[in-house]
Amino acid sequence: MAASGMSEEQDRLFANGQAAPGSFRFDAKVARVFDDMIRRSVPGYANTVASSGWLAARFAQPGTACHDLGCSLGATLLACAEALADTGMEGVELIGVDNSAAMLERCRSRLEPELGSRLPTLIAADVRTVELRPSSVIILNWTLQFLPAADRTPLLARIHEALLPGGALILSEKVIDSDPEAQQLAESLHADFKRTQGYTDLEIAAKRTAIEDYLIPETLDAQKTRLLELGFRPVLVWYRHLNFASLLALKPVSLEHCR
């Protein structure tokens, strides 16, 4: 969002090193600093967001919806709107969903001046229960990881159902490695990344405590296997930066659809 010149507050939420285990919530305090927090915490964030935009435009079909589930401040919606405008395609309804009122309020006030009459439909709802319209693209960037394990497959199954043949799911997640040594290395490199972004060791440790048992990552293999089992094909890991990866999963064009 920096490109749009919108003001950013610096994330100092954990500067005192204090955090109760699992206490992290997407409330007003987090929404205020979110741009800065996510850019300095998620390696490859800007690249994933920008690429989600042109990937969405690549798979978008006129007369369908493109959902961004867990849209936060709307960075990806903005990238999609800009990429769609570049292609000249019309009739794609952009829909952002988030269950944090504070996030969605800021999302609206940030996107309105940028997009005016092209403002996406913004829905305050839980992604687990929100109605999904027939879609050519559904984006789930760093949101699935916050859902309880038992709720993940049902949501992905609903996404598969909502996608039209040829439609695409873009799924970005923090991932873990099944090899404990590789996992330890990945965690330590991620901490190094955060240090390069100006976070102190105290802040890094407190944030880790705050998201304990709330952000629960899975392995890339588990993510891929589940998507294949749900009927997505092919499933491509199109981007990875340290322990953050993004997958592109297509809903095949069925034989019935071809007739």
Contacts to ligand GEK by CB under 6 A:
26, 38, 49, 70-72, 75-76, 97-100, 103, 126-128, 141-143, 146-147
Q: What is the DSSP letter of 2?
A: G
Displacement of CA 15 from its chain's centroid (Å): 25
Q: Which is nearer to ligand GEK, 142 or 239 (CB)?
A: 142
CB of 125 or CB of 237, closer to ligand GEK: 125
CB-wise, 147 or 242, nearer to ligand GEK?
147
Q: Nearest approach, Cβ of 32 to ligand GEK (angstroms)?
A: 13
Q: Least distance from C-beta 257 to ligand GEK, angstroms?
A: 30
Rounded CA-CA distance 194/204 in Å is 7
Q: How far apart are CB 145 and ligand GEK at their closest, in Å? A: 7
What's the closest the beta carbon of residue 69 comes to ligand GEK, in angstroms? 7
Question: How are beta strands 244-250 and 235-241 bridged, if at all?
Answer: antiparallel
- Separation CA 174–CA 218 (nearest Å): 8
* C-alpha torsion angle, residues 151, 154, 155, 159 (rounded to 10): 170
Q: Is 139 helix (H, G, I), strand (E, B) or coil?
A: strand
The letter for the amino acid at 28 is A
> Which residue lies nearer to ligand GEK by CB, 67 or 251?
67
Q: How far is the CB of 77 from ligand GEK (least distance, A)?
A: 9
What is the C-alpha to C-alpha distance for residues 72 and 172, in angstroms, rounded to an integer?
Answer: 14
Least Å from the CB of residue 229 to ligand GEK: 22
169, β-bridge pairs: 138, 249
Q: Give the whole-angstrom CA distance, residue 196 versus residue 219.
A: 25
Alpha-carbon span 55 to 83, nearest angstrom: 9
* Closer residue to ligand GEK (CB): 127 or 175: 127
- CA 184 – CA 180 distance, rounded (Å): 6
Task: Name the residue with the smallest CB distance to ligand GEK.
Answer: 70
CB 167 within 8 A of CB 135: yes
The residue among 154 and 234 lying less far from ligand GEK, judged by its C-beta, is 154
Distance of CA 101 to the CA centre of its chain: 17
| Beta carbon nearer to ligand GEK, 33 or 237 | 33
CB of 128 to ligand GEK, least distance (A): 6
